[in-house]
Chains A and B, each alone.
Chain A
Amino acid sequence: MENYNESRNEAWREQLRKSKTAKERNNIARVEMPQLDPAYRITCNEEVNQGINAEQAVLEATRCLDCPNPQCVTGCPVGINIPKFIKNIERGEFAQAAATLKETSSLPAVCGRVCPQEKQCESKCIRLKMNQPAVAIGYLERFAADWQRNNTEQEVPPMKEANGIKVAVIGSGPSGLSFAGDMAKQGFDVTVFEALHEIGGVLKYGIPEFRLPNSIVDYEIEGLRKMGVKFEKDVLVGKTITYDDLHEQGFKGVFVGSGAGFPRFMDIPGENLIGVMSSNEYLTRINLMSAGRGGDTPVMHGDTIAVIGGGNTAMDSTRTALRMGAKRVILVYRRSEEEMPARREEVGHAKEEGVEFMTLHNPIEYIGDEKGHVKAMRVQRMELGEPDASGRRKPVPVEGAIEEIPVDIVIVAVGVSPNQLVPRSIEGLDVSRRNTIVVNEETMQSNIGDLYAGGDIVRGGATVILAMGDGRRAAQNMARQLLGE
């Protein structure tokens, strides 16, 4: 971990701290994120959150008390020096704020948009203890990264001299990109292999543009290219080339960040009817393949669309369905809103846009028409019982409370499992019963010495930032191993 006090003791920081009293800082209200109007935004794919302006950012940064023992940093999986970047914003040094982010995060503009800050950095903010809203760290992160992208030339960060050691990355999602960036900075010769025809993994096929525009992801990828990272599309390691082939080609280390691409279904009657599909399929068709937006790939349309699940992917699916012209979108979730794993912000946005929430309900069967197309779902009303293994109250069926609701399309967003394709292709690799790659949690090293892994292929379904943290830790440890330190 970094020494956060070193930068805190710099003269400008001390001066800045003294420039305002705590009371003055406390009297500032938390900034509100400017958003597109719900009625307008469901007609297009434009980014909903518009970002705060410089004036708002400076004022929000002023709310930060620059604590002597900052807790926010302990909530950040990649250990961003949060007070340092925020105080740089307060003094108007936006480029330095962005540079601070780049020290530890390869994708700040992405994290500023999709991280669950309310559960991470912001959940540790001292202001919460004062019964005030936390400093809007996420909004500030996004501001600094966006400011740099919009106002300066893309620069290559300080890099060590090339050491000529080749390392391979399998998968170009958040963990792979984060790993690639860190290894390139250390002087390694990095090649990223991607199975799809686009770089970015879940950032491209999964997260819709109204939450994370592709141009932002592409900018970060361009940055990595400038650092010398090579990208090979349409290569499925384990199929197109093997792990042994990588060794033959001179790769000395391999990082697997192949993600959790395997969609789960519920195994209930009627799930294979036409019109019932995974959220992965729905979102991939629309986000990656531009279905319904000029691409050749078709996507089904319907007036009434049900989305099953309560996570961010479920929210993304409901909101995408509205944008594709659905008249009624129903979210079906078996627990109550309180237990939903989705970010509060996404839940709020979905509601503003008109998604109907059918909580404490669970689909038990889909009914098809004579052509095999789904026409209705039977849902079972639930109530909350005793807490289960996850600590959340377990939903139990209310006997006899079953309802039939007409639907045109059902999107199943009940989670994903690790894609077994890569792990299965590597002989001797230690894989868990849940099909995740088993690694040392400190180093991210697998039981095969030169193979590291991170992100959802290890965690089984987590967040962008945790995946990035894994990539970063794997890079630190693999670099140490390969350099013989």
Chain B
Amino acid sequence: MNKIVSKQRFSENVTKLVVEAPMIAKARRAGHFVIVRCGEKGERIPLTIADSDPAAGTITLVIQAVGDSTRKICALEPGDCLTDVVGPLGQATRIENYGTVLCCGGGVGVAPLLPIIKAMKAAGNRVVSVLAGRTKDLIILEDEVRASSDDVIIMTDDGSYGNKGLVTAGVEEVIKREKVDKVVTIGPAIMMKFVSLLTKKYEVPTEASLNAIMVDGTGMCGACRVSVGGKTRFVCVEGPEFDAHEIDFDELLMRLKM
């Protein structure tokens, strides 16, 4: 059982929970995720880790309510408990001094991107972040991202905040104006697909962090399999990040509909 320490609602469907998980708080690195279960009959849901505080023994999760299980988790209040939290799972992001790193996050994908932005900055990179959302309310963690970025571009579909347009417009603007050595993208699969097509055109190495369907999260079930470079890989143990230019996004999009 893991107690909810605090809760913040970012928008109608997006909630931030700070959860007691001392061992995970200590062990997790940027890029890791956890599997969470709510209730004795609860589903195992993979969630990315947005932040952690090893001293307080807590991790921060940002959850978008999209189905019954995520709605149940978002309805928890401080003092309530998650039935299970296991992790950190997956491979951590490879953090190096690449030069200039463009971090591009869409919607709730900004949450797992934040620790990567922080780590890339700490490794000496120039970090340019592009945050995107359908509308102003869906741009999350802007202040935290600004604190670790050299420049931030905000894109909204409806133009209610930042620049009007899709995330790819922001990414292209940066690539055209300066040399970008690495792109990291996290967001809806369809967004990552178009970011990947764009960066492939400009030949900028790109990592995409995938949110596949999982049951156990430890390599047992294979529900999360994805084709990368023509080979079947398991997102849970070999990912969640892969070379975006090698990912079969169409297959991924199809499998996410199951």
Contact = CB atoms under 8 A, between A and B. Distances in A.
18 contacts: A197-B84, A234-B84, A234-B85, A235-B23, A240-B88, A261-B216, A261-B219, A265-B222, A271-B232, A272-B226, A284-B216, A285-B215, A290-B41, A294-B41, A295-B43, A296-B39, A297-B44, A371-B257
Interface in A237-280: 239-242, 261-263, 265, 267, 271-272, 274-275, 277-278, 280
Interface in B244-258: 251, 254-255, 257-258
B61 to A, nearest CB: 15
Given A290-B41, A296-B68, A421-B218, 17 more contacts: A195-B86, A197-B44, A240-B24, A240-B88, A242-B27, A261-B220, A274-B254, A275-B258, A277-B221, A277-B222, A281-B215, A281-B221, A284-B216, A372-B251, A372-B254, A372-B255, A420-B219
B137 to A, nearest CB: 28
Contacts of A239: 27, 87-89
Contacts of A274: 254-255, 257-258
Interface in B38-95: 39, 41-44, 68-69, 83-89
Contacts of B174: none
Interface string A162-206: 000000000000000000000000000000000111000000010
A99 interface: no
A284 B39 contact: no
A300 interface: yes
Interface of B: 23-24, 27, 37, 39, 41-44, 68-69, 83-89, 215-216, 218-223, 225-227, 232, 237, 251, 254-255, 257-258
Contacts, number: 113
A107 B80 CA distance: 37
Interface string A400-440: 00000000000000000001110000000000000000000
Dominant SS at the B interface? Answer: mixed
A210 to B, nearest CB: 20
Contacts of A262: 219-220
A453 interface: no
Given A241-B23, A277-B223, A296-B69, A236 B257 contact: no
Contacts of A284: 215-216, 220-221
Contact of B255 (A240, A241, A242, A272): A272
B23 A240 contact: yes
Nearest to B218: A195
A393 interface: no
Most chain B C-beta atoms within 10 Å of own C-beta, residue among A240, A262, A289, A420: A240
A421 B89 CA distance: 10
A234 B258 CA distance: 27
A372 B257 contact: yes
Given A274-B254, A274-B258, A372-B254, A419 B27 contact: no
A236 B227 contact: no
Nearest to A373: B258
Nearest to A206: B220
Contacts of A323: none
Given A241-B23, A371-B257, A272 B220 contact: no
A289 B83 CA distance: 14
A234 B81 CA distance: 15
Contacts of B255: 272, 274, 372
B86 A234 contact: yes
Interface of A: 195-197, 205, 233-236, 239-242, 261-263, 265, 267, 271-272, 274-275, 277-278, 280-281, 284-285, 289-290, 294-298, 300, 371-373, 419-421
A205 B257 CA distance: 25
B43 A272 contact: no
Given A235-B23, A296-B42, A280 B68 contact: no
A267 B232 contact: yes
A267 B215 CA distance: 21
A419 B218 contact: yes
Contacts of B251: 272, 372
Nearest to A242: B27
* 9 shortest interchain CB distances as A-B pairs: A372-B254, A281-B221, A261-B220, A234-B86, A296-B43, A278-B222, A274-B258, A197-B84, A297-B43
B232 A236 contact: no
B221 A280 contact: yes
Contacts of A277: 221-223
Contacts of A265: 222, 225, 232
Given A289-B44, A296-B41, A296-B69, A419 B216 contact: no
A274 B37 CA distance: 24
Contacts of A285: 215, 221
A240 B41 contact: no
A290 to B, nearest CB: 6
A197 B226 CA distance: 26
Given A281-B221, A284-B215, A272 B86 contact: no
A285 B44 CA distance: 10
Nearest to B236: A421
Nearest to B32: A239
B232 A263 contact: no
Contacts of A290: 41
A419 B237 CA distance: 10
Contacts of B237: 420-421
A196 B219 CA distance: 12
Nearest to B1: A234
B34 to A, nearest CB: 10
A447 B89 CA distance: 27
A371 to B, nearest CB: 7
A263 B218 contact: no
A240 B218 contact: no
Contacts of B88: 239-240
Contacts of A261: 216, 218-220
* Most chain B beta carbons < 10 A, residue from A236, A263, A265, A372: A236
Contacts of B68: 296
Contacts of A421: 218-219, 237
Contact of B216 (A196, A267, A372): A196
A197 B83 contact: yes
B222 A197 contact: no
B221 A263 contact: yes
A463 to B, nearest CB: 19
Contact of A236 (B37, B44, B218): B218
Contacts of B221: 263, 277-278, 280-281, 284-285
B220 to A, nearest CB: 4
Nearest to A265: B232
A265 B218 CA distance: 17
